[in-house]
């Protein structure tokens, strides 16, 4: 990521900002759950009684520490208070689509509902990926709690591929690679270990392209579900001697023949129907294309020379990103039990006479007020009383404010700050602002900071 957006890339990565934002995006599920639980305990001083006899379940998600990383697996833990009752063994989910992950979660909930009456999870716990093996080999059976295994036909037994890379962590030298084909959580087959000593990046990429083509033809796998980086020391006993290294299909030597391009350019320039200016334009375009081909060749050649190391191929950390699935967007909110809604404590405050209060008015109260006014002034008709009430409601005469402001500005100053205009016309700020905005004959200009009221200037047209 830093190679693309750091100092060597477009330069948009800022460690002080991006690190915290990426961390917040990774842990937003846990943060939201913690915030809601804390609000339950402290809001409005209401005590919440959490019974130790209540049985809850946590959903455990295995994925890398980045936003929307592919899901390696899911599991669940059933607790009664602080006591662990049961554990749902991890389900291998690498290579699964979101709808298939949903099917696995629903299968877990069905088992938990039958045994414990649990319909949804209480929260989500995210953990880093693990080295997957057979569930029975993960650890010994625990006598303290129950272990549950959930199988989903057509999902937990589907095929996926894993790319295993042996490299030095600091120098990024790739020593060897291999691929594994998994059926569910079992490693079923794979390719032999490829010794990368003496290879160039183009040969390595060509080899991975051929492996993916083979996986697609046999297992309908189009990309690797995940990439596992292992330390270099773990593959040294498995490698043969350098002279007997596994041979990848050799790519033809990188060459560039510019003679056909020059000949084609010469024929194009020597056309009889071209004017001298047109011939120069054709020659310029042709030369630029030849230069582009040469630069492409030079970049590839230098890359091949610089990448060859004595112990392997020197490649960046994200060199195999084009072959490995990078993101999966899964929404877990539908499987999380919403927190109980607590009564809110409304804040009471005193309303002064100068405050503006807006509320809903009952129709019956309005009619009763009109009847009382008619009884007090019997000489007025209903139409006159209604017009009086309407005139009272439209007491804010914006056109009169705008006219007074326009007359003063045309007589004294055609442009001045808003605060000076308020003092000059002797109107409240709200009246001046409404008159300027709705008057239709004023220009509002911001000449300073956005939130600086003194930098707002008013001009009359």
The three-point CA angle 195-200-202 to 5° equals 110
| Residue 292, token pair as written in the block | 């582009």
Write the secondary structure of 242-262 as one string of H (helix), E (strand) and C (coil): HHHCCCCCCCCCCCCCCHHHH
| Residue 129, token pair as written in the block | 């990926």
Determine the pLDDT at residue 134.
42
> The dihedral of CA 244, 245, 249, 255: what is its sign?
negative
H-helix or E-strand containing 13? none
Determine the pLDDT at residue 451.
73
For every residue of 413-448, DSSP letters joined together read: -SEEEHHHHHHHHT--HHHHHHHHHHHSSEEEEE-S
The three-point CA angle 442-448-449 to 5° equals 115
List all residues 6 or more positions away from 316 whose beta carbon is below 8 Å from its beta carbon.
Answer: 3, 172
| Residue 37, token pair as written in the block | 């639980």
Determine the pLDDT at residue 241.
42
Backbone torsion region of residue 396, taken as left when φ is above 0, otherwise alpha when ψ lies between -120 and 50, otherwise beta: beta
Give the C-alpha separation, 194 to 177, whole Å: 5
Give the C-alpha separation, 133 to 125, whole Å: 21
Determine the pLDDT at residue 136.
41
Residues 57/59/60/61 CA torsion (nearest 10 deg): 180
Distance of CA 310 to the CA centre of its chain: 40
Instruction: Indicate the domain borders of the chain.
Output: 1-34, 52-157, 160-323, 398-460
Counting every residue written for the chain, the total comes to: 461
Note whether 204 and 251 are within 8 A (CB): no
Give the C-alpha separation, 125 to 127, whole Å: 7
Closest by CA position to 165, among listed 227, 112, 108, 95: 227
Determine the pLDDT at residue 423.
87
List all residues 6 or more positions away from 176 whose beta carbon is below 8 Å from its beta carbon.
Answer: 166, 193, 194, 195, 196, 235, 238, 239, 312
Is residue 45 classed exposed, middle or buried when 0-12, 13-18 and 19+ CB atoms within 10 A define those classes?
exposed
**Helices H / strands E in the chain, number of each:** 13, 14
pLDDT tens digit at each of 461 positions of the chain: 555 566 666 666 666 666 676 666 666 666 776 676 666 666 545 444 555 678 899 999 998 877 788 888 899 999 988 888 999 988 888 888 888 899 999 999 999 999 999 999 988 888 888 666 444 444 455 567 888 988 887 777 788 898 989 887 777 788 889 999 988 777 788 888 888 877 778 888 889 999 999 999 988 888 898 888 888 776 765 554 443 333 444 444 556 777 887 888 788 877 767 777 788 888 888 888 888 888 877 776 666 655 555 566 777 778 888 888 888 888 888 888 876 555 555 555 565 554 544 555 566 666 676 677 667 667 767 667 666 655 554 556 778 888 888 888 888 888 888 888 888 888 888 888 888 888 778 888 888 777 778 888 888 87
Give the C-alpha separation, 87 to 60, whole Å: 10
Give the C-alpha separation, 255 to 202, whole Å: 14
Q: How many CB atoms lie within 10 A of CB 164?
A: 20
| Residue 193, token pair as written in the block | 């270990």
Q: How many CB atoms lie within 10 A of CB 350?
A: 5
Determine the pLDDT at residue 249.
42
The CATH T-level fold of domain 398-460 is Arc Repressor Mutant, subunit A (1.10.10)
Q: How many CB atoms lie within 10 A of CB 195?
A: 23
Q: How many CB atoms lie within 10 A of CB 179?
A: 23
Note whether 434 and 444 are within 8 A (CB): no
Note whether 277 and 269 are within 8 A (CB): no
List, in sequence order, every beta strand (DSSP E) within 219-296: 226-231
Is residue 33 classed exposed, middle or buried when 0-12, 13-18 and 19+ CB atoms within 10 A define those classes?
middle
């Amino acid at each position: 990521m830093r190679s693309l957006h750091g100092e060597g890339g477009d330069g948009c990565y800022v460690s002080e900002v991006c690190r915290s934002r990426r961390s917040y995006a990774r842990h937003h599920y846990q943060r939201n759950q913690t915030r809601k639980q804390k609000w339950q305990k402290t809001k409005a001083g209401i005590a919440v009684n959490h019974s130790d006899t209540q049985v809850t379940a946590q959903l455990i998600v295995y994925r890398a520490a980045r936003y929307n990383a592919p899901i390696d697996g899911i599991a669940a833990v059933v607790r009664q208070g602080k006591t662990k009752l049961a554990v749902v063994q991890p389900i291998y989910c690498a290579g699964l689509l979101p709808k298939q992950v949903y099917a696995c979660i629903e299968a877990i909930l069905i088992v938990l509902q039958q045994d414990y009456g649990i319909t949804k999870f209480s929260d989500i716990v995210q953990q880093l990926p693990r080295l997957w093996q057979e569930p029975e080999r993960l650890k010994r059976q625990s006598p303290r709690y129950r272990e549950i295994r959930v199988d989903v036909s057509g999902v937990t037994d589907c095929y996926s591929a894993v790319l295993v890379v042996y490299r030095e962590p600091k120098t990024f030298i790739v020593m060897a690679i291999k691929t594994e084909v998994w059926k569910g959580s079992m490693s079923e087959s794979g390719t032999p270990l490829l010794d990368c000593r003496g290879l160039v990046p183009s040969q390595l990429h060509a080899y991975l392209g051929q492996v993916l083509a083979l996986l697609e033809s046999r297992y309908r796998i189009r990309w690797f579900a995940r990439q596992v980086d292992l330390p270099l020391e773990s593959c040294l006993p498995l490698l043969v001697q350098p002279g007997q290294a596994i041979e990848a299909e050799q790519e033809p030597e990188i060459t560039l023949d510019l003679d056909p391009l020059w000949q084609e350019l010469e024929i194009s320039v020597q056309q009889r129907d071209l004017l001298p200016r047109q011939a120069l334009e054709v020659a310029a375009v042709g030369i630029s294309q030849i230069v582009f081909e040469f630069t492409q060749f030079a970049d590839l050649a230098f890359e091949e020379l610089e990448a060859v190391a004595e112990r392997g191929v020197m490649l960046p950390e994200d060199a195999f990103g084009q072959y490995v699935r990078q993101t999966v967007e899964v929404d877990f909110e539908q499987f999380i039990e919403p927190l109980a809604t607590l009564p809110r404590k409304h804040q009471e405050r005193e309303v002064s006479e100068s405050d503006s209060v807006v509320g809903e008015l009952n129709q019956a109260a309005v009619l009763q007020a009109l009847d009382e006014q008619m009884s007090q002034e019997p000489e007025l008709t209903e139409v006159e009383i209604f017009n009086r009430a309407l005139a009272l409601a439209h007491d804010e005469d914006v056109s009169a404010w705008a006219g007074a402001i326009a007359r003063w500005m045309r007589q004294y100053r055609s442009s001045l700050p808003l605060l000076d205009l308020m003092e000059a016309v002797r109107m409240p700020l709200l009246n001046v602002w409404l008159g300027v905005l709705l008057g239709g004959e004023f220009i509002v200009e911001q000449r300073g900071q956005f939130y600086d009221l003194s930098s707002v200037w008013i001009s009359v047209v």
